[in-house]
């Protein structure tokens, strides 16, 4: 979503008065409907996104994924196994 907002800002030639109303709408929609732990997990684990050279780890996305794991998996040993698998996923190429 940040890339979309940056593109809008660039198209509006950096004039806050023009792009901020659009950013506000995006932020309201994003926070209210799409910004959930499950969506963060899907984003993070999507190989089409994850292995792009432009992919950057985002702390908020990582925390969302960890929250999702905590909700879906109650056993701490299973959670640890998932975390180890995610570490392998991160280092795969």
**Domain ranges across the chain:** 1-35, 37-93
Average model confidence (pLDDT) across the chain: 88
pTM exceeding the 0.85 threshold for the entire prediction? no
Predicted local distance difference test score (pLDDT) of residue 30: 73
Predicted local distance difference test score (pLDDT) of residue 8: 94
Residue 14: which pLDDT band, with cuts at 50, 70 and 90?
very high
Reported as a single tens digit per residue, the pLDDT across 51-80 is 898 888 889 889 999 999 999 999 999 999
Full DSSP string of the chain: -HHHHHHHHHHTTT-HHHHHHHHHHHHHHIIIII-SHHHHHHHHH-HHHHTSTT----HHHHHHHHHHHHHH---HHHHHHHHHHHHHHHH--
Predicted local distance difference test score (pLDDT) of residue 83: 93
Predicted local distance difference test score (pLDDT) of residue 45: 92
């Amino acid at each position: 979503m940040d890339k979309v907002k940056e593109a809008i800002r660039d198209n509006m030639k950096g004039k806050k008065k023009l792009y901020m109303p659009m950013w506000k709408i995006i932020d309201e929609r994003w926070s209210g409907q799409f910004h959930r732990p499950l969506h963060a997990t899907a984003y993070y684990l999507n190989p089409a996104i994850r292995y792009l050279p432009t992919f950057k780890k985002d702390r908020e996305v990582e925390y969302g994924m960890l929250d999702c794991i905590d909700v879906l998996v109650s056993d701490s040993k299973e959670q640890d196994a998932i975390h180890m698998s995610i570490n392998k996923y991160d280092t795969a190429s």
